[in-house]
């Protein structure tokens, strides 16, 4: 199961409260969450990381807000399940990929990568993914491979899906916070969705309280920092089933629970 960007306390509380039961009741083997907006909408702290891990997250990915909480530059060095984009320059603290053992004993390669269109000019994300896939092939070293493609444009996310098709179990887009309805299995057997959405309050502007974004759009004047909306959060993400032999996807289901959006549950959900 992959859950989209957690935005602020509303999203954190919803995930921490519901994730343990989801894992137990639905027999989820492995959980990845994007946590780059978890601390007040900007970055992640060690306490939040620990809380998400205690709730059942096997890995937590980041993105362009990786270092907004400066403590992350330190504790990411000792937390090998907290992943920043793999295409950051050499010497950046932390790691962008890791092979992690799931609850069922399977080895899952999780890769966090960031796109470049309308984003910071990092190293080539496609070359970075090529290196990681070559070093840890699906069905050989890795039982499953999950790629979190954190970027602005739908075209770059979809291009990464096709680039990794047949070589990864799933490619999930993050960053834009709005769930797309194009979940599918690509020709080569890789599950894909352009954006998993967010875990946050959708009565907002992409998770932020509406007042300040509206002021900036209408007047071009910023009066204060963005603050996450505090209403009931919707948990958004996807659930993917993979073949034990090949590691490729056999099914993908969208997931939306609570809050403003219409609920959507996987077909097998009890």
Question: Which conformational region is residue 147 in: left (phi greater than 0), alpha (psi within -120 to 50 degrees), or beta?
Answer: beta
Two structure tokens written together for 54: 């205690």
Tell me which residue of 181, 203, 177, 176 sits closest to 260, measured CA to CA.
Answer: 203
Residue 64 CA: distances (Å) to CA of 15, 194, 268: 22, 17, 34
Paired sense of beta strands 235-242 and 2-3, if any: antiparallel
Catalytic residue, chosen from 65, 150, 177, 183, is 65
Residue 50, classed as helix, strand or coil, is helix
65 is catalytic: yes
Q: What is the pairing mode between strands 97-101 and 107-114? A: antiparallel
CA 189 to CA 169: how far, in whole Å? 7
Measured CA angle at 9 (ends 8, 10), to 5 deg: 95
Residue 266: partners with Cβ closer than 8 Å, 6 or more residues away: 26, 239, 253, 254, 255
Q: CB of 151 within 8 A of CB of 119? A: yes
Contact yes or no for 231/9 (Cβ under 8 A): no
Distances (CA, A) of 203 to 125, 130, 185, 222: 33, 39, 31, 21
| Residues belonging to the active site | 65
């Amino acid at each position: 199961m992959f859950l989209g960007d957690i935005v602020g306390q509303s999203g954190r509380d919803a995930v921490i409260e519901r994730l343990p039961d989801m894992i137990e009741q639905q027999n989820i083997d492995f959980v990845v969450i994007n946590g780059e907006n978890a601390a007040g909408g900007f970055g992640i702290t060690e306490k939040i990381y620990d809380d998400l891990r205690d709730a059942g997250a096997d890995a937590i990915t980041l993105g362009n807000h990786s270092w907004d909480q400066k403590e992350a530059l330190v504790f990411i060095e000792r937390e090998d399940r907290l992943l920043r984009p793999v295409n950051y320059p050499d010497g950046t603290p932390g790691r962008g990929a890791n092979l992690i053992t799931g609850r069922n004993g399977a080895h899952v390669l999780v890769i966090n990568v960031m796109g470049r269109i309308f984003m910071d000019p990092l190293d080539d994300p496609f070359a970075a993914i090529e290196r990681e896939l070559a070093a840890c092939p699906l069905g050989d070293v890795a039982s499953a491979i999950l790629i979190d493609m954190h970027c602005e444009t739908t075209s770059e996310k979809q291009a990464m899906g096709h680039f990794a098709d047949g070589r990864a179990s799933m490619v999930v887009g993050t960053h834009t916070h709005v769930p797309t309805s194009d979940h599918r299995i690509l020709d080569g057997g890789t599950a894909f969705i352009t954006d998993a959405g967010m875990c946050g309050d959708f009565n907002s502007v992409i998770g932020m309280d509406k007042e300040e974004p509206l002021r900036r759009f209408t007047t071009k004047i910023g009066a204060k920092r963005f603050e996450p909306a505090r209403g009931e959060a919707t948990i958004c993400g996807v659930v993917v089933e993979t073949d034990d032999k090949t590691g490729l996807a056999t099914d993908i289901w969208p997931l939306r629970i609570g809050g403003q959006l219409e609920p959507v549950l996987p077909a097998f959900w009890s």
